[in-house]
A and B are shown apart, each in its own frame.
Chain A
Amino acid sequence: MRFTFKGGVHPPYRKYTSENPIKEIGIPEEVIIPLSQHTGAPAKPLVDRGATVYRGTKIGELQGFISANIHSPTSGKVKRVFEWPHPVALKSLPAIIIEPDGEDTLDESIKEDADYLNASPQEIVERVKEAGIVGMGGAAFPTHVKLSPPKEKPIDTLIINGAECEPYLTADDRLMREQADEIVQGAYLIMKAVGAKRGFIAIEDNKPEAIEAMEKAVRDYPDFRVAVMKTKYPEGAEKQLIWALTRRQVPSGGLPMDVGALVQNVGTSRAVYHAVRYRMPLIERVTTLTGGAPANPGNYLVRIGTKVEDLLKMTGGLSEEPVKAIMGGPMMGIAQYTLDVPVLKGTSGILLMTAKEVELPRERDCIRCGRCVEACPMFLYPTRMAHLIKNKRFEEAREIGVLDCIECGSCSYVCPARIPLVQYFKYAKAELRLLAQKA
């Protein structure tokens, strides 16, 4: 039986790089570490121009409850702390710019704990926090916060998210095939940290090799099972995944812990393993370089802070000129105005599309076909919400659920009139936030 949710769409998957093994690309000539790579407050810089840093040196300290540490991905000197184009904010934000020395010397603080499997829950959370781990599926929510639910919200179910429902992306697929044991060990540690009783590893059925690898890896873990999911977008969306596996609905405005669930991406799970065992902070990740433009698309192990421009140089450049550069997948990814932007902790893919691959939509009037209503995995009323928002009736849009939108883009994807529905909802959310602040 395959698990799934209601609604959603079937985009073409275009997983061109699923047979490309993960390849390490090495150290670029410059790394850019933005202070804000996560949901929440930006980190406070701990170093200034001229400081010597090593691979894994903490260079930014988290500020407040929802925030994350940042670390140097290699050894070298801090060139400056200055504003740099940010791939999510789409403007320049403070970043620590490091010039690597090429030695890649490890920071002294990073030592293996041979007894890591006996780390206490508090210790696990502490090491995850220290390592600056955030959700690597794209949302980049600080992981230690998710691992610290309040007492009155016990978590019984852990879901390791290997759905990878975004078209084009194959980083998680490769990671599951190649590092299944590390993912499962990370999952075991997370489970221990929150005291969950059972764990699922959720994988879409278009990744049979990953399913096989993970099934082999969980054999010795009776509390874990691999859950084969239907290939449908957005199968890997948190709330949809929880419902598909447990039939529990995260209440509107609530969090997974409200229904006793915790979802972590496979890459995050592996990062937790490295943090708890080796005390290794999150300074590199696997990201998919794909689309028609790169000469050598593939799954690359990249140091956080590597510029897209450099990543391209180090992998053989372009075969065709891109007309669109997207950080993330084609459904939720963000179009970039420059290739100078760095790879962040949450960068699951870099999609460089050629003119042939890109459709520039021309909006027409809604013909009320109802496809958006059918596609919405949150059972919202996209066409009506868009109509209200166009007329600046934000409060009414809120009443019928615009704040519940998970911005998956299914509505915009299916719309035959090419109305940028999800864009209207993001706009309305921002407007409603402003209104709430004023009130």
Chain B
Amino acid sequence: MSGNSLYITPSPHIFAREDIRGIMWRTVASLVPPLVAGIYFFGLRALLLTVVTVATALLTEYLFLLLRKKDTSAVFDGSAVITGILLALILPPRFPLYAAAIGSFFAIAFGKQIFGGLGNNIFNPALLGRAFLMAAFPVESTVYSPPIRSIFGLDVITQATPLTAMKFSHIKTPYINLLIGNTGGSMGETSALLIILGGLYLIYKKYIDWRLPLSYIGTVFLLGGVFWLINPQKYPDPLFHILAGGLMLGAFYMITDMVTSPVTPKGRVIYGIGAGIFVIIIRLFGGYPEGVMFSILLMNSVRPWIDRLIVPKRFGEVRK
């Protein structure tokens, strides 16, 4: 018997099957429904856009891992693919491909790798990439082409995005269109239904904490409702608030990003409420029609404080 070839490792000696790779790739799978919706409504150009952002994200990740002398196999842990897909989903479907590539590079390089790679970034990389493109390509970032086809015989809404129409012309897009997704908007944000579908899968797999989407959407609904009750002519109703724009995608795929959201259950509720308040403030009183992106980026920067201040109450703790 070769007693000298035994591994010595600390306990435990068994592990949950799921590692980072498993979580990331199954999250990628959950993004398929909104991705398919985007391609259906906006055509193969949307697919091409996604291919470009994902390929750039992977390439950038690889390059930086190489430069940082890190294990390059991490490039296939799925996280860069998620960033690539998410960035495509929040871009206008006809966004210039070269600009999308620049945005994807920025997202991975300055949103993630520069902080030390997965787990160390402060901001959601995809949202940071989107914010960068908003500043660098302001015109291209706000030109939204209408869907190329409809579904279930619904009218294609050809005007500006529902939020722009509401903010600047007080035109309300029908709820059913918002739910299904045949409206103008970012490639993967229009179909609330399919995003919720993917999100429920993530909740079921416990990749995301239900507290985050609930507190975020709940706050937007309640606070939006308060303003609507104050002045229904001026402000959109709460249902419109939660179905239009990027709120659903933000609530299930952005604010829930493990790395950039708080760790504790209580911290997550505070975080979601904070972001919800920012959405309403920006949508109703800001210069932009949409506030999801900035609401989450703003809360990203507060996250470390939340994680430090909210410490769970311990078993048997006697608080003085």
Q: Which A residues contact B (CB, under 8 angstroms)?
A: 9, 11-12, 167, 239, 243, 249-252, 254, 309, 312, 318, 321-326, 328, 330-340, 351, 353, 358-361, 364-371, 373-374, 377-381, 383-384, 400-401, 404, 407, 409, 412-418, 420, 422-423, 426
B318 cross-chain contacts in A, Cβ below 8 A: 251-252
B13 and A379 form a contact (CB under 8 A)? no
- Which of B134-142, B151-159, B172-180, B257-265 is found at the contact surface with chain A? B257-265
A380 and B312 form a contact (CB under 8 A)? yes
Q: Which 7 A-B pairs have the closest CB atoms?
A: A365-B119, A409-B12, A423-B10, A330-B13, A378-B315, A370-B263, A252-B316
12 contacts between A and B (CB under 8 A): A239-B315, A312-B1, A335-B8, A335-B10, A337-B6, A353-B13, A365-B119, A381-B263, A381-B312, A416-B19, A422-B12, A423-B10
B258 and A401 form a contact (CB under 8 A)? no
Query: In this complex, what residue of B is CB-closest to A258?
Result: B316
B63 at the interface (CB under 8 A from A): no
Instruction: Give the distance in Å from the alpha carbon of A330 to the alpha carbon of B315 in the complex.
Output: 24
What is the CB-to-nearest-CB distance from A10 to chain B, in angstroms, rounded to a whole number?
9
A420 and B8 form a contact (CB under 8 A)? no
Query: In this complex, what residue of B is CB-closest to A253?
Result: B316
What is the CB-to-nearest-CB distance from A354 to chain B, in angstroms, rounded to a whole number?
11
Instruction: Give the distance in Å from the alpha carbon of A366 to the alpha carbon of B316 in the complex.
Output: 27
Instruction: Give the distance in Å from the alpha carbon of A417 to the alpha carbon of B316 in the complex.
Output: 29
B5 at the interface (CB under 8 A from A): yes
Instruction: Give the distance in Å from the alpha carbon of A237 to the alpha carbon of B10 in the complex.
Output: 19
- Take A250-B316, A365-B116, A418-B19 as given contacts and tell me if A334 and B11 are in contact as well, using a CB distance cutoff of 8 Å: yes
Q: Would you call the interface of chain B mostly helix, strand, loop, or mixed?
A: loop
A373 cross-chain contacts in B, Cβ below 8 A: 263-265, 312
Contact residue among B12, B20, B311, B314 (Cβ-Cβ distance under 8 Å from A404): B314
Contacts A368-B263, A409-B11 aside, 16 further interface pairs with beta carbons under 8 A come to A239-B315, A324-B9, A324-B13, A335-B13, A338-B4, A339-B1, A367-B20, A368-B258, A368-B259, A371-B206, A378-B314, A381-B263, A383-B263, A384-B307, A413-B14, A416-B19
A413 cross-chain contacts in B, Cβ below 8 A: 12, 14-16
B14 and A330 form a contact (CB under 8 A)? yes
Instruction: Give the distance in Å from the alpha carbon of A334 to the alpha carbon of B264 in the complex.
Output: 31
Query: In this complex, what residue of A is CB-closest to B2?
Result: A321
What is the CB-to-nearest-CB distance from B302 to chain A, in angstroms, rounded to a whole number?
14
B7 at the interface (CB under 8 A from A): yes
A336 and B12 form a contact (CB under 8 A)? no
Query: In this complex, what residue of B is CB-closest to A410?
Result: B12
Instruction: Give the distance in Å from the alpha carbon of A366 to the alpha carbon of B228 in the complex.
Output: 42
Query: In this complex, what residue of A is CB-closest to B10?
Result: A423
Query: In this complex, what residue of B is CB-closest to A308?
Result: B3
**Residues 238-266 (chain B) with a chain A CB within 8 angstroms:** 258-259, 261-265
B314 and A379 form a contact (CB under 8 A)? yes
B209 and A422 form a contact (CB under 8 A)? no
B214 cross-chain contacts in A, Cβ below 8 A: none
B43 cross-chain contacts in A, Cβ below 8 A: none
Instruction: Give the distance in Å from the alpha carbon of A407 to the alpha carbon of B10 in the complex.
Output: 11
B16 cross-chain contacts in A, Cβ below 8 A: 9, 11, 413-416
What is the CB-to-nearest-CB distance from B250 to chain A, in angstroms, rounded to a whole number?
18
User: Interface digits, B255-282 against A, CB 8 Å rule (1 contact, 0 not)?
Assistant: 0001101111100100000000000000
What is the CB-to-nearest-CB distance from B118 to chain A, in angstroms, rounded to a whole number?
6
- Take A321-B2, A339-B3, A365-B119 as given contacts and tell me if A326 and B13 are in contact as well, using a CB distance cutoff of 8 Å: yes
**Residues 188-215 (chain B) with a chain A CB within 8 angstroms:** 206-207, 209
B23 and A336 form a contact (CB under 8 A)? no
Instruction: Give the distance in Å from the alpha carbon of A370 to the alpha carbon of B3 in the complex.
Output: 38
B117 at the interface (CB under 8 A from A): yes
B259 cross-chain contacts in A, Cβ below 8 A: 367-368
B119 and A364 form a contact (CB under 8 A)? yes
A331 and B118 form a contact (CB under 8 A)? no
B286 at the interface (CB under 8 A from A): no
Instruction: Give the distance in Å from the alpha carbon of A366 to the alpha carbon of B15 in the complex.
Output: 16
A359 cross-chain contacts in B, Cβ below 8 A: 14-15
B232 at the interface (CB under 8 A from A): no
A335 cross-chain contacts in B, Cβ below 8 A: 6-11, 13
A249 and B14 form a contact (CB under 8 A)? no
B120 cross-chain contacts in A, Cβ below 8 A: 365
A401 and B314 form a contact (CB under 8 A)? yes
Query: In this complex, what residue of B is CB-closest to A12?
Result: B14
B313 and A331 form a contact (CB under 8 A)? no
A333 and B11 form a contact (CB under 8 A)? yes
Contact residue among B6, B116, B209, B311 (Cβ-Cβ distance under 8 Å from A370): B209
- Take A309-B1, A365-B116 as given contacts and tell me if A381 and B311 are in contact as well, using a CB distance cutoff of 8 Å: yes
B96 at the interface (CB under 8 A from A): no
A401 cross-chain contacts in B, Cβ below 8 A: 314, 317
